[in-house]
Amino acid sequence: MNQVINKKVKFLDLGSKDYKETWDFQEEIFAKTVALKIANRNAAPDAQQITDNYLIFVEHPHVYTLGKSGELSHLLLDENGLKEKQATFYKINRGGDITYHGPGQLVGYPILDLDNFFTDIHKYLRLLEEAIILTLAEYRIIAGRIEGLTGVWLDHVEQKNPRKICALGVKSSRWVTMHGFAFNVNSDIDYFNNIVPCGIPDKAVTSLHLEIGRPVDPQEIKEIVKKHISNLFEMELV
């Protein structure tokens, strides 16, 4: 089977949208893409169908999500506590532990068929991190990686006060991806006090607006992140 390569990526900005609704939307696209790939395996070369790619940007109301490898004890709120914080909670099917999504955070869900780009999940995660690192550099913020930990960190070299500014958690099947990254842009980081973020008790969390001392224009940051993702993946956003 010779798959037809498609580097076009449909960009969708969903604005502010409920977490579960967005998750269902992702699952629908993901399932269709995987089903098409399975069908292509049994199709003649001239009957191969092109798989679509998506890059979804969204902002969620207050929500905590727990990945497959996470521990429920890392959520420090009971049902009443969640109500008081006007937050919801979901156990979900991505990798990683617990994290928070909320207003002021840029959440990105790339639903890509990596057969259109490269078949390497490690490289996929590193390029998503690199897009955020390059974005932060445009705000004169030096960021990077800490060995053994996913995501993007400040003070990643000396680690006197290491703090995470972007979390990653993905799912993939047959080289199709879903879930993605959560970049704290104008986030209320007090909400992270209600969890053990990503299961790491001894590392802090930060947000870009706190680091630069002013609110960040949401549309501006979206354009910068889009630019770096499209360049790094050599994709054509449509």
What pTM did the predictor assign? 0.95
DSSP 174-211: TTEEEEEEEEESS--GGGGGGB-GGG-TT-EE--HHHH
Q: Is residue 3 part of a domain?
A: no
List residues with catalytic annotation. Answer: 198
Exposed, middle or buried, 236 (CB in 10 Å: 0-12/13-18/19+)?
exposed
The tally of CA atoms less than 13 A away on the side-chain side of residue 135 is: 30
Per-residue pLDDT in tens (0 to 9) along the chain, 238 residues: 467 899 999 999 999 999 999 999 999 999 999 999 999 988 888 888 999 999 999 999 999 999 888 899 999 999 999 999 999 999 998 888 899 999 999 999 999 999 999 999 999 999 999 999 999 999 999 999 999 999 999 999 999 999 999 999 999 999 999 999 999 999 999 999 999 876 677 689 999 999 999 999 999 999 999 999 999 999 999 9
Q: Is residue 111 part of a domain?
A: yes
Q: Which two tokens stand for residue 19?
A: 């977490």
- Count of the separate structural domains present in the chain: 1
Q: What is the CATH number of the domain that holds 212?
A: 3.30.930.10
By three-state DSSP, how is residue 35 classified? Answer: helix
**Element (DSSP H or E) covering residue 58:** strand 54-59
What is the domain extent for residue 147? 8-237
By three-state DSSP, how is residue 86 classified? Answer: coil
